[in-house]
Amino acid sequence: MQGDEFWARLREGKVVLGACVMYPAPGIIEGMCEGWDWLWIDMQHGQYDYGTVLHAVRTASSVGIAPIVRPATHDYGLLGKCADTAPTGLMVPMVNTPEEAQQIVNALRFPPLGMRSYGGRRPIDLCGRGYYQESELLVMLQIETEQAARNAECIIGTDGVDALFFGADDIRVRLGLPINIPVVESKELQRPMAKMADAARKAGKFCGCVAADPATLRVALDMGYQIVVGGGDVGFLRTVAAAKLEELRQVVGGGKS
């Protein structure tokens, strides 16, 4: 799924299922991503930096999966540099106030909405010098604190913001919930998650979250979530590596063989 189809599906009210990559080897994208709709390339908590993101965005394009980059920072210039890799979108973490939302719009939208600097190499190389008037960039902001949850309406209401993304783990930490408690077992978690989705819907915009199992996904769909992360390289690797090891150890016999 390339960027155009990604947008089309969102606008038709459909769901887009994404996978996350945190380890910066583009081969992972070729090996793992068949069939997924979009790819979350993580510079914040994953091990990507600018150079490896550029390779990853290209690789995602070459295998037809829409790349969305998560930068680590709100810095105007560094956000612009991420946008200049020409991904389908950016997911910006830890946005707590409408002022921060506006600051991010300033970095990512061209005038008059924002103050993004013109001239990104890859957008021009791929789309020509008129890219600033044409290409679409999904601007998705993460709601990850109680303050952010309270400000969700104003944040999504900021012109130039397209979507919100629910940061469940940081909310768990801030609410003092067990870090592995499932969404379906915690009303405290569902409350801000539903509230955020409402804010997005009222604004006529989109919302996303992680939903890596059927039960969570059902809850999320019911709330109106369309941009869904179903898993990622690290989770896939850890789960199955541990299970496989256990399975084989049984055959060998005894603890650590």
Residue number with CB closer to a copy of itself (4 or 125): 125
CB of 90 to a copy of itself, least distance (A): 13
Are the CB atoms for 28 and 5 separated by under 8 Å?
no
Distances in Å between the Cα of 69 and the Cα atoms of 49, 127, 134 are 11, 19, 20
Residue number with CB closer to a copy of itself (139 or 203): 139
Give the closest residue to 162 by CA, choosing from 99, 222, 226: 226
CA dist., res. 32 & res. 47, Å (int): 17
Are the CB atoms for 33 and 12 separated by under 8 Å?
no
CA dist., res. 242 & res. 138, Å (int): 36
Residue number with CB closer to a copy of itself (73 or 157): 73
Residue number with CB closer to a copy of itself (148 or 196): 148
CB of 238 to a copy of itself, least distance (A): 6
CB of 23 to a copy of itself, least distance (A): 4
Residue number with CB closer to a copy of itself (117 or 190): 117
CB of 160 to a copy of itself, least distance (A): 16
Residue number with CB closer to a copy of itself (27 or 204): 27
DSSP string of 99-123? Answer: HHHHHHHHHHS-TTT--PPS--HHH
CB of 32 to a copy of itself, least distance (A): 4
Are the CB atoms for 168 and 188 separated by under 8 Å?
no
Distances in Å between the Cα of 128 and the Cα atoms of 79, 108, 254 are 21, 18, 63
CB of 131 to a copy of itself, least distance (A): 9
